[in-house]
Copies of this chain bind each other. A is one copy, B any other.
Amino acid sequence: MLELAILGLLQESPMHGYELRKELTAKLGAIRAAISYGSLYPTLRRLQAAGWITEAAETPATAEEVPALTSRRGRVVYKITAEGKERFAQLIAQAGPETYDDTGFGVHFAFFARTDQATRLRILEGRRRKIEERREGLRDVLGRAAERLDAYTLELQRHGLDACEREVRWLEELIANERSGRAPTVPETGTAGGRREDNSPPPPGESRKERP
């Protein structure tokens, strides 16, 4: 997952590690806390070894000009290679099971702007299926095993169930949007005031033209 995220970000512009982490945090802040250096740097090394990214020299002058005054350990700027772009395209298009867990889905979604519509639809539907399964599991527990669990545990399940239902609805809207061919126009998540006094978009009725 980290690999995909790094490749995606470096496609926008070359960066050094620290910067990468900040961009990563900004882009993925909704789904994970903050990427650790303990995974970032080893991954960068791995990507470099695989030839998907390269170091780009940052200091303009050569090392001979500014000698031993300060053995300045320069920032290491990475840029993506042609092979790296291929790798990214491959990773972003193929959807394995890990594509639908919380982190995997989040990363894929964050790069939907670089993903073709068919793949977007496939991923959204896969994610929906997965969340629906989790939802059913929670309903089962709340229905059948409720008496075996204490009030706090039940409350946790209830909250989780609520989050599942909410996410399914969110996904439904996104899927409908994709099918209608429109870009993601703030589907009224509930808060975060994106208004849009848009004059009636095409009615959501029977528009079954797209075939995935």
Residue numbers of A with Cβ under 8 A of B are: 25-27, 29-31, 33, 101, 106, 109-113, 134, 137-138, 141-143, 145-146, 149-163, 165-167, 170, 174, 183-187, 189-192, 194-196, 198, 201
- State the CA gap A210–B58 with chains docked (Å): 59
CB pair A160 B31 closer than 8 Å: yes
- State the CA gap A185–B111 with chains docked (Å): 41
CB pair A152 B190 closer than 8 Å: no
**Given A26-B141, A26-B145, A141-B29, A158:B194 Cβ within 8 A:** yes
CB pair A30 B150 closer than 8 Å: no
**Given A113-B150, A196-B146, A29:B157 Cβ within 8 A:** yes
Count this chain's copies in the assembly. 2
Look across to chain B and name the residue whose beta carbon is closest to the beta carbon of A114. Answer: B150
- State the CA gap A175–B138 with chains docked (Å): 24
CB pair B189 A109 closer than 8 Å: no
CB pair B29 A152 closer than 8 Å: no
Q: Determine how close the nearest CB of chain B comes to the CB of A113; give it in whole angstroms.
A: 4
Q: Which 9 A-B pairs have the closest CB atoms?
A: A30-B160, A112-B152, A113-B150, A162-B189, A161-B192, A155-B184, A158-B192, A151-B184, A151-B201
- State the CA gap A115–B115 with chains docked (Å): 47
Q: Other than the known A151-B198, A162-B166, what 14 A-B pairs have Cβ atoms closer than 8 Å?
A: A25-B137, A26-B141, A26-B145, A29-B138, A30-B156, A30-B159, A30-B160, A109-B156, A113-B152, A146-B195, A155-B174, A155-B184, A162-B189, A162-B192
Q: Determine how close the nearest CB of chain B comes to the CB of A201; give it in whole angstroms.
A: 5
Q: B residues within 8 A CB of A27? A: 149, 153
- State the CA gap A85–B165 with chains docked (Å): 37
Q: B residues within 8 A CB of A184? A: 151-152, 155
